[in-house]
């Protein structure tokens, strides 16, 4: 079965190893992603990400590293309850792919898949729709992009 | 907490890859018949008709009879509702990738200037 997939890509003016460290080292993950990152770039490593850490309702999700081939591929399952074991039914799969265009430029691609296989509760589905109900209008290009054909432009 | 089976149906409708492909074709073309859609899909016309019926039932598409043909088109407002959650996921990644880019480029630039002047390690600890 094909799964729902989001794919995005960006060009970065930095060597591949700098980009690798930015996406895998906990101290750096904290600057672009979660407030707290307890994760190790090693296949099978299990950890957690904490969002909204400074509020009354922090959101802690599990993360399990699937692949860590420095500096080319980093992949993990996430957004499952931290006391559960990651699987297709409770998590999505994120894969970062890094390609060195030159020794000073890196292409970083991220693919998140498995959203449509998640066993979301009714409340969660409801929330998905309610959170974003008053959003934007879907345009044709946008839709094709979303449905997997294209990828993101970088600014 | 209130729950709408309406949203459930909408979710199920767009969770299927064949139906997403159909919606994609309809968005691209504006309008199409089951026959012309079948030409671009690897499934039977009966299957296409079933998918179209389901999409129509959840309000994602409208049908209009024109002579002997039935033409289908996307209801954009409804589709926007259905896909905005997924668009949100994509937007978040765009945002994160831009942040990664900024960080990596800043730290790379800082390191280069540090090594060029060798008068301190400001910024070197960032990566």
Most B-contacting residue of A94, A143, A148, A155 (CB-CB within 10 A), to test interface: A143
Per-residue pLDDT at A135: 31
Backbone angles phi, psi at A9, to 5 degrees: -145, 150
pLDDT digits (tens, 9 = 90+) for A24-43: 999 999 989 889 999 999 99
CA A84 – CA B82 distance, rounded (Å): 29
CA distances from B8 to A114, B13, B15, B86 (A): 18, 9, 10, 15
Per-residue pLDDT at B2: 36
CA distances from B68 to A85, B25, B33, B71, B94 (A): 55, 21, 11, 10, 46
Report CB contact under 8 Å: B104, A115. no
Report CB contact under 8 Å: A115, B87. no
CA A28 – CA A37 distance, rounded (Å): 9
Q: What is the mean pLDDT of chain A?
A: 78
User: What angle in degrees, to the nearest 10, is found between the helix axes of B76-117 and A122-131?
Assistant: 80
β pairing state of A73-80 and A59-69:
antiparallel
Chain B residues bordering chain A (beta-carbon distance below 8 Å):
1-4, 7-8, 10-11, 15, 17, 20-21, 23-24, 27-28, 76-77, 79-90, 93-94, 96-101, 103-105, 107-108, 126-127
pLDDT digits (tens, 9 = 90+) for A60-90: 999 999 999 999 999 999 988 899 999 988 8
pLDDT digits (tens, 9 = 90+) for B31-76: 999 999 999 899 999 999 999 999 999 899 999 998 989 999 999 8
pLDDT digits (tens, 9 = 90+) for B73-121: 999 888 877 776 667 777 888 899 999 999 999 999 988 887 766 544 4
Helix (H) or strand (E) holding B113: helix B76-117
Burial class (CB in 10 A: 0-12, 13-18, 19+), A123: exposed
Decide if A125 touches B, using CB distance below 8 A. yes
């Amino acid at each position: 079965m094909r799964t729902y997939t989001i794919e995005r890509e960006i060009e970065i003016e930095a060597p591949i190893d700098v980009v690798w460290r930015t996406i895998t080292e906990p101290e750096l993950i904290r600057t672009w992603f979660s407030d707290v990152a307890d994760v190790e770039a090693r296949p099978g490593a299990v950890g957690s990400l904490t969002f909204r850490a400074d509020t009354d309702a922090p959101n802690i999700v599990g993360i399990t590293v699937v692949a860590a081939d420095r500096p080319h591929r980093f992949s993990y399952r996430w957004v499952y309850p931290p006391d559960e074991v990651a699987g297709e039914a409770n998590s999505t799969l994120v894969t970062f792919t890094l390609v060195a265009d030159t020794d000073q430029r890196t292409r970083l691609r991220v693919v998140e898949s498995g959203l449509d296989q998640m066993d979301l509760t009714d409340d969660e589905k409801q929330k998905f729709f309610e959170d974003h109900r008053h959003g934007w209008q879907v345009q044709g290009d946008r839709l094709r992009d979303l449905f997997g054909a294209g990828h993101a432009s970088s600014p | 907490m209130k729950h709408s089976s309406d949203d459930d149906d909408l979710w199920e409708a767009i969770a299927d890859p064949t139906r997403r492909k159909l919606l994609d074709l309809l968005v691209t073309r504006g309008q199409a018949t089951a026959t012309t859609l079948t030409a671009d899909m690897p499934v039977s016309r009966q299957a296409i008709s079933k998918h179209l019926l389901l999409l129509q039932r959840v309000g994602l598409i409208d049908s209009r009879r024109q002579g002997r043909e039935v033409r289908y088109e996307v209801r954009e407002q409804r589709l926007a509702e259905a896909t905005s959650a997924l668009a949100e996921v994509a937007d978040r990644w765009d945002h994160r990738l831009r942040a990664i880019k900024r960080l990596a480029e800043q730290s790379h630039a800082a390191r280069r200037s540090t090594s060029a002047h060798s008068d301190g390690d400001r910024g070197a600890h960032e990566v």
